[in-house]
Amino acid sequence: MIKLGIFYRVDYVEAAKFVLENIVKNFEVKHFTDSSLDFDEEKFSVDVNIVVGGDGTVLRTLKKVNTPVIGVKAGRLGFFSGYLLNEIDKLIQDLKDWNFIEDKRWTLRIETKKGTYFAINDAVIQKDVSQKILDLDVKITDGTFYYHADGLVISTPTGSSAYALALGGPIMLPNVEAFEITPMAPQFLANRSLVIPSNERIAVRSSEVANLIVDGDLVEQTNEFRIKKCNRTVIILRPKSYDFSTSIKEKIGYGRKILKNGL
């Protein structure tokens, strides 16, 4: 019998209870956990985790567990979700048949003098409001690029539709084997993203100690860090009908069909 865990965003607790009530009739539910709390996966043996919440909740859950995750969401689908709340019957059937697409995403490993971190979306170095513009060196095998900017975002393809997109970067399909480096508010017009192969090692050095933000969480302040592809992958289970282009179209409207006579 399939063993499940349920994570939920605390303000989605009613939706999460609805999922629990339906799931528990069919499967063994091992835990029902507020996604903002610490979680020790080793205490529970589950095959899959259901996450009730938005993309942020799924992201945080993916970082806590090594087992696959299924996103369930009210309203519109997000990048990380697979099922809407009103598709609970379909989810139960798909669980019974184990009828999913395994959407594997590769991740980043970030090393500083103090520690190592892993990122699904991105690592960001960013100055405080009170700080001067940073001088940033980005060293790769091929040479060094220099930026005079508020910061830099180094993202996976998964992260290309997150903060990097908001800064003007391209949309990368999830299975592209490349990092994207996007400057934040660069001086002197050099605002394009740089796309570099995922087998590169990136060393970033800043003229001043600044904030290091990993997947949206401030982790430390530093003036240097290194990034490479991480050997850890995360797995999102999707319905067979899933494709990335639909999620791009639904979530941000990119590449959607425009009607001939109006919107």
> Looking at 188, 231, 261, 262, which residue binds a copy of itself (CB under 8 A)?
188
DSSP E strand boundaries for 9-99? 28-34, 48-52, 69-73, 83-84
User: Does the annotation count 55 as an active-site position?
Assistant: yes
Q: How far apart are CA 86 and CA 73, in angstroms?
A: 9
Task: Flag whether 151 is marked binding.
Answer: no
Q: Which of 39, 224, 195, 239 is closest to 114 using CA atoms? A: 224
Instruction: Specify the 3-state DSSP secondary structure of 86.
Output: helix
Binding-site residue total for a copy of itself (CB under 8 A)? Answer: 47
Query: Which residue reads 């567990």 in tokens?
Result: 65
| Calpha distance 193→180 (Å, rounded) | 6
How far, in Å, CA of 72 to CA of 86, rounded? 9
Nearer to a copy of itself, 17 or 228 (CB): 228
CB of 41 to a copy of itself, least distance (A): 31
Kindly state the smallest distance separating residue 202's Cβ from a copy of itself, in Å: 12
Query: Which residue's CB is nearer to a copy of itself, number 75 or number 143?
Result: 143
Main-chain phi, psi angles of 58, to 5 degrees: -65, -45
Which residue number, 25 or 260, has a Cβ lying nearer to a copy of itself? 260
Q: 146 and 183 in contact (C-beta within 8 Å)?
A: no
193 binds a copy of itself (CB under 8 A): yes
Contact status: 165 vs a copy of itself (CB under 8 A): yes
Segment near a copy of itself (CB under 8 A), from 70-78, 91-99, 105-113, 172-180?
172-180
- Please work out, in degrees rounded to the nearest 5, the angle formed at the alpha carbon of residue 100 by the alpha carbons of 89 and 46: 80
Residue 258 interacting with a copy of itself (CB under 8 A)? yes
Q: Tell whether residue 137 is among the known ligand binding residues.
A: no
Of 35-43, 71-79, 93-101, 140-148, the window that binds a copy of itself (rule: CB under 8 A) is: 140-148
Q: Which residues pair with 106 in a beta bridge?
A: 233
As measured in angstroms, the least distance from the Cβ of 205 to a copy of itself is: 13
Nearer CB in complex with a copy of itself: 129/263: 263
Angle at CA of residue 219, ends 215 and 222, nearest 5°: 115
Stretch that binds a copy of itself, among 88-96, 101-109, 189-197, 228-236 (CB under 8 A): 189-197
Residue 166 CB contacts under 8 Å (≥ 6 apart), including other chains = none
Q: Which of 123, 146, 118 is nearest to 133 (CA)?
A: 146
Query: Residues at the annotated binding site for NAD(+)?
Result: 55-56, 60, 121-122, 132, 148, 150, 185
Annotation: binding site: 55-56, 60, 121-122, 132, 148, 150, 185
Per CB under 8 A, residues contacting a copy of itself are 135, 138, 140, 142-148, 157, 160, 165, 168-173, 175-178, 180, 187-188, 190, 192-197, 200, 243-246, 248-249, 253-258, 260
